[in-house]
Amino acid sequence: MARKEAVPNRRYTAEFKQEAVRLAASIGGNATAKRLGVPHSTVTNWVRRARDGALQEPQGEGVPVRRPVSELEAENSRLRRELASTKLDLEIVKKAAAYFAKESR
């Protein structure tokens, strides 16, 4: 029987671990491990450490900053306008595609 090659230990950032724990809470550990390409036991360990409070918190830029409500409302309204514009563009493209498909027959 052939010997398996040794897999080097992988290093993950604290932010990656925190996001994996959040994802595991929403879709489950097995699905998270498959989606991220991480061993299931590793995800399980991260979840257990996070529950015990031993998982290292991300430092620096990875930590979200609390923003004022007015800023969030402004961003929300901007995103709504952008979404409406994109929906209109998509509708126009669909109509144009139907028109040119009908014309080519």
Q: Give me the number of domains the chain comprises.
A: 2
Q: In terms of domains, do 54 and 80 share one?
A: no
Pair 16, 50 in one domain: yes
Instruction: Dump pLDDT digits (tens) for 54-95.
Output: 777 766 555 566 778 888 899 999 999 999 999 999 999 999
Are both 46 and 79 inside the same structural domain? no
Looking at the structure, do residues 102 and 73 belong to the same domain, yes or no? yes
- Write down the pTM of the prediction: 0.49
List, for residues 9-64, the tens digit of each pLDDT value: 788 888 888 889 999 998 998 999 999 888 999 999 999 998 888 777 766 555 56
- Identify whether 88 is part of a domain: yes
Q: Are residues 53 and 15 in the same domain?
A: yes
Q: Give the per-residue SS3 of the chain.
A: CCCCCCCCCCCCCHHHHHHHHHHHHHHCHHHHHHHHCCCHHHHHHHHHHHHHCCCCCCCHHHCCCCCCHHHHHHHHHHHHHHHHHHHHHHHHHHHHHHHHHHHCC
Q: Which domain holds residue 48?
A: 11-58
